[in-house]
């Protein structure tokens, strides 16, 4: 990293920060626009980053926050492994969680050095790195889509790539390209998405070189160093405003398969001055199932949780992470050791953030939401149509819990992943699937002074002769909790053929479900938790919910003590508030809540 040689010009710092952000965002737009698979192009399950010569993140594109902070560990390995062997025109590829500090096998990294014309000895000067990571539709393994929850070791999850040169000095490694194409079910989409990642890095390289040409290499790199320091100082100033203390919370993942064993996450957050320490001691041990997140991913999820409760415009660079220390016992769920499988580790990343929100609610009650729907549900429907494999998977988002200021949102991503639901039209045009229903379910948001977001539902009908279904979901046994008197949201459900067999599937499936033409899979997401006492909710707000069909009249009475009746002097179906009945009902409900609990009579 270059050393600053003079005082900082704050205007120049802000200008170059914006330039770094724009370059990373342009990389993201290029990747999105040129991608071939729905999981990248439509779900937006990818990230881009611009890094300095030492592999420190300068900016990350508007992509997946849980990827932020994970680039650093991977780049440490790459730079150490290829010291002295990095040349212009090189492109590196990797995905392995252990050999390369990757995340899980579907997330393939493409990273390339940015060289200037200036020479350092015999070689041109390496001044930066442009990096992308994208979730690929399939990388082989025992389950299509490569998210095998039932995998017991990483060898069952698909093709493992160490850090290797995908392109060496401008010459593609044709053998490696052929190996990848041969080992995936959807080579057209996988190789197309890899080409999209190459296009994205070229965008980053081109724009970074333009920046160097305009302001000078040393000037840009010096301000990159200043940016890291600025981000660290802003973060420390934010943390200094947190109340010092130790804040603990325990959360759960229901477990795998038909007979799930409970998985425990236990967070201990220590705020001391300008530093935060997050300790995961007490969390379950790593398991023989695909939900183990690698430690870089665990750290990135922790950074995302802390970043989301900070109010300053802190740059999304490496300096932000420095005041945050994350520790976890080796061999635990959140710091697994080889050969633990990691394919569906995303569910644990979301739960890490949810768990930290539970702890941070004790310190910063006005900055967190009640519990969310738990991140994305990841359904995979795969099979063969006219002899060609198809693999449909999406990150189905999402519903938030309420806050101290407003109701929970629905149809939005979890704060850990800035991703999107695939449109019905794109699904139906590209796959032998029909979407029979997509919408919100009334009465599913946790009651509170502010209501939790409503659960979403998506119903998929199979149009091919046969297909397999694999689902990663959660929040059934432990639905999203409320905060400060708010009620829990509704639990999640997975049904096959609702209205016919109504068979219920596990939240985390370790065995694929075989489906045929006309079979239907229905997923009902959990609803967000409520915030505050439901009896403090404005009756007019409850009436508005009834009018908008977010809450039924019966639910309004049971949960909020609000009596809504049909308005006699209005058009049929119009609702109005019965204020006297509401006041009486709420008074009775408050009295019942304040009454001491009955105790059993003593035995003679």
DSSP label of 5: -
Question: Rounded to the nearest 10 degrees, how much is the dihedral formed by the CA atoms of 211, 215, 219, 221?
Answer: 0
Please identify which residue in the block is written with the tokens 């990571």: 133
Euclidean distance between CA atoms 496 and 379, whole angstroms: 13
pLDDT confidence tier of residue 572, bands split at 50, 70 and 90: low
Which residues, other chains included, contact 323 with Cβ-Cβ below 8 Å and sequence gap of 6+?
232, 235, 236, 239, 274, 275, 276
Q: Is the dihedral of CA 120, 316, 304, 24 positive or negative?
A: negative
Highest mean pLDDT among 120-124, 388-392, 575-579 belongs to: 388-392
| pLDDT of residue 600 exceeding 60 | no
- The dihedrals phi and psi of 230, each to the nearest 5 degrees, come to -65, -45
Q: What is the pTM of this model?
A: 0.93
**pLDDT computed for residue 123 by the predictor:** 82
Contact 31, 200 (CB under 8 A): yes
Contact 287, 263 (CB under 8 A): yes
In the predicted model, what is the mean pLDDT of residues 328-333? 97
pLDDT confidence tier of residue 6, bands split at 50, 70 and 90: low
Euclidean distance between CA atoms 180 and 100, whole angstroms: 17
| pLDDT of residue 601 exceeding 60 | no
Q: DSSP characters for 83-130?
A: TT---TT-EEEE--TTTS--S-TTEEEEEEEEEEEEEETTEEEEEEEE
pLDDT confidence tier of residue 184, bands split at 50, 70 and 90: very high
**pLDDT computed for residue 602 by the predictor:** 44
Euclidean distance between CA atoms 579 and 576, whole angstroms: 9
**pLDDT computed for residue 573 by the predictor:** 62
Kindly report, residue by residue over 507-529, the tens digit of the pLDDT. Answer: 999 999 999 999 999 999 999 99
- Helix, strand, coil abundance in the chain, percent, nearest 5: 30, 25, 45
Kindly report, residue by residue over 126-139, the tens digit of the pLDDT. Answer: 999 999 999 999 99
> Within 13 Å of residue 603, how many CA atoms lie on the same side as its CB?
0
pLDDT confidence tier of residue 599, bands split at 50, 70 and 90: low
In the predicted model, what is the mean pLDDT of residues 236-254? 97
In the predicted model, what is the mean pLDDT of residues 348-353? 96
Euclidean distance between CA atoms 258 and 256, whole angstroms: 7
Please identify which residue in the block is written with the tokens 């009651």: 447
Contact 57, 318 (CB under 8 A): yes
Euclidean distance between CA atoms 61 and 70, whole angstroms: 14
- The dihedrals phi and psi of 324, each to the nearest 5 degrees, come to -110, 115
**pLDDT computed for residue 118 by the predictor:** 83
pLDDT confidence tier of residue 569, bands split at 50, 70 and 90: low
pLDDT confidence tier of residue 66, bands split at 50, 70 and 90: confident
Please identify which residue in the block is written with the tokens 């829990």: 488
How much of the chain exceeds pLDDT 90, in percent? 87
Strand segments, DSSP code E, in 371-525 are 378-385, 388-393, 398-399, 410-412, 433-441, 455-462, 466-472, 493-496, 503-504, 513-516, 520-524
Residue 202 has a CB neighbour count (10 Å cut-off) of: 15
Compute the chain's Rg from CA coordinates: 26
Calculate the average pLDDT of the chain. 93
**pLDDT computed for residue 603 by the predictor:** 41
């Amino acid at each position: 990293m270059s050393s600053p040689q003079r005082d900082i010009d704050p205007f120049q710092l802000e200008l170059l920060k914006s330039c770094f952000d724009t370059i990373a965002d342009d990389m993201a737009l290029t990747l999105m626009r040129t991608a071939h698979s729905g999981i990248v192009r439509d779900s937006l399950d990818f990230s881009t980053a611009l890094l300095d010569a030492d592999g420190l993140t300068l900016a990350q594109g508007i992509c997946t926050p849980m990827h932020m902070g994970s680039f650093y560990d991977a780049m440490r390995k790459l730079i150490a492994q290829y010291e002295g062997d990095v040349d212009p025109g090189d492109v590196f590829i990797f995905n392995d969680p252990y050999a390369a500090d990757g995340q899980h096998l579907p997330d393939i990294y493409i990273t390339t050095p940015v060289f200037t014309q200036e020479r350092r000895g015999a070689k041109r000067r390496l001044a930066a790195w442009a990096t992308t990571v994208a979730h690929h539709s399939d990388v082989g393994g025992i389950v299509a889509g490569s998210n095998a929850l039932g995998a017991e070791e990483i060898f069952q999850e698909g093709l493992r790539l160490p850090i290797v040169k995908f392109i060496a000095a401008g010459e593609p490694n044709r053998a490696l390209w052929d190996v990848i194409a041969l080992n995936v079910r959807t080579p057209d989409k996988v190789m197309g998405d890899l080409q999209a990642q190459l296009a994205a890095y070229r965008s980053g390289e081109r724009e970074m070189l333009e920046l160097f040409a305009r302001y000078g290499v040393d000037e840009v790199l010096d301000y990159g160093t200043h940016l890291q320091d600025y981000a660290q100082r802003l973060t420390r100033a934010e943390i200094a405003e947190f109340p010092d203390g130790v804040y603990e919370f325990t959360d759960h993942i229901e477990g795998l398969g038909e007979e799930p064993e409970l998985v425990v996450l236990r967070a201990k957050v220590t705020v001391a001055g300008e530093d935060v320490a997050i300790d995961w001691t007490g969390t379950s041990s790593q398991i023989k199932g695909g939900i183990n997140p690698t430690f870089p991913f665990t750290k990135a999820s922790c950074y995302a949780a802390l970043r989301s409760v900070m109010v300053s415009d802190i740059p999304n660079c490496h300096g932000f992470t420095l005041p945050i220390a994350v520790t976890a016992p080796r061999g635990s769920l959140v710091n697994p050791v080889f050969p633990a499988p990691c394919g569906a580790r995303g569910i644990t990343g979301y739960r890490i953030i949810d768990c930290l929100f539970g702890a941070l609610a004790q310190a910063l009650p006005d900055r967190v939401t009640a519990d969310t729907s738990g991140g994305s549900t990841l359904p995979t429907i795969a099979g063969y149509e006219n002899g060609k494999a198809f693999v449909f998977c999406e990150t189905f988002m999402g519903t938030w819990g309420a806050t101290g200021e407003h109701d929970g949102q629905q149809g939005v991503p979890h704060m850990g992943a800035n991703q999107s639901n695939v449109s019905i039209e794109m699904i139906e045009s590209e796959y032998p699937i029909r979407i029979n229903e997509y919408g919100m379910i009334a009465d599913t948001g946790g009651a509170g002074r502010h209501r939790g977001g409503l659960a979403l539902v998506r119903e998929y009908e199979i149009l091919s002769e046969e297909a397999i279904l694999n689902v990663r979901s959660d929040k059934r046994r432990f639905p999203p909790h409320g905060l400060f008197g708010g009620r829990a949201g509704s639990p999640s459900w997975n049904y096959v053929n609702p209205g016919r067999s109504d068979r219920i599937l596990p939240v985390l499936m370790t065995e694929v479900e075989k489906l045929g033409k006309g079979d239907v899979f229905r997923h009902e997401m959990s609803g967000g938790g409520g915030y505050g006492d439901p009896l403090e909710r404005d009756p007019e707000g409850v009436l508005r919910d009834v009018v908008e069909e977010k809450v039924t009249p019966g639910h309004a009475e049971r949960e909020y003590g609000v009596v809504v009746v049909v308005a006699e002097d209005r058009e049929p179906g119009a609702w109005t508030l019965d204020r006297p009945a509401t006041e009486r009902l709420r008074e009775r409900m408050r009295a019942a809540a304040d009454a001491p609990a009955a105790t059993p009579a003593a035995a003679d």
